[in-house]
Amino acid sequence: MLLRHGLGRALVDREGIVVRGLRPPRRLAWDGIHDIRCVAVPAGRGWGPGTVTYAYRTDGRRVLLLCVDDEELPALEPELAFLRALLVRRRSAGWVPDPRAEPRIALQNAREEAWDRWFDGWRSYVLIFGVAAAVLAGIVLTTWLGGPA
């Protein structure tokens, strides 16, 4: 959350989009962007935005556009439409989409959906195990360090 509100941003200029966060800034040239899309975040996560925006590179990999989400921009759809129109205008005249990009994007989306389904099924078990491990670690550390005299 600190990253999103304090350090993270996506800046748009004539050459492309610059994504700044904890990592060094990443520049995405307009010709290197296949598409810009909004993705719904699974409801089970419970905090953060419900919709985030990704810039999909021509190789099909995606880059999260920090602060371009429904928490920061209540009117996300007009912003997305503006970014997509700008993408079309700023690409070079001879730009053609890579035919391998869409299958890679679909594969990545399928993997993420499978992970979300798996995690939704095991979330309560993972949470219970995590709490039990923390309590057990506290007992062991208290006993090992001598505890109250």
Give the model confidence (pLDDT) of 110-142 as tens digits. 988 888 777 776 667 777 888 999 999 988 888
* Per-residue pLDDT at 116: 77
Distance, CA of 120 to CA of 115 (rounded, Å) = 8
Each residue of 25-34: pLDDT tens digit?
889 999 999 9
Q: What are the b/e assignments for 128-147, b being 16+ CB within 10 Å? A: eeeeeeeeeeeeeeeeeeee
* pLDDT beneath 70: ranges in the chain: 1-7, 43-46, 121-123, 146-149
Print the SS3 string covering the chain: CHHHHHHCEEEECCCEEEEECCCCCEEEEHHHEEEEEEEECCHHHCCCCCEEEEEEECCCCEEEEEEEECCCCCCHHHHHHHHHHHHHHHCCCCCCCCCCHHHHHHHHHHHHHHHHHHHHHHHHHHHHHHHHHHHHHHHHHHHHCCCCC
- In the DSSP assignment, the letter for residue 9 is E
For residue 135, give both structure tokens: 């309590």
Residue with tokens 């391998």: 100
Burial degree of 94 (CB within 10 A; 0-12, 13-18, 19+): exposed
**Across-strand partners of 7?**
none
The answer to pTM > 0.75 is no
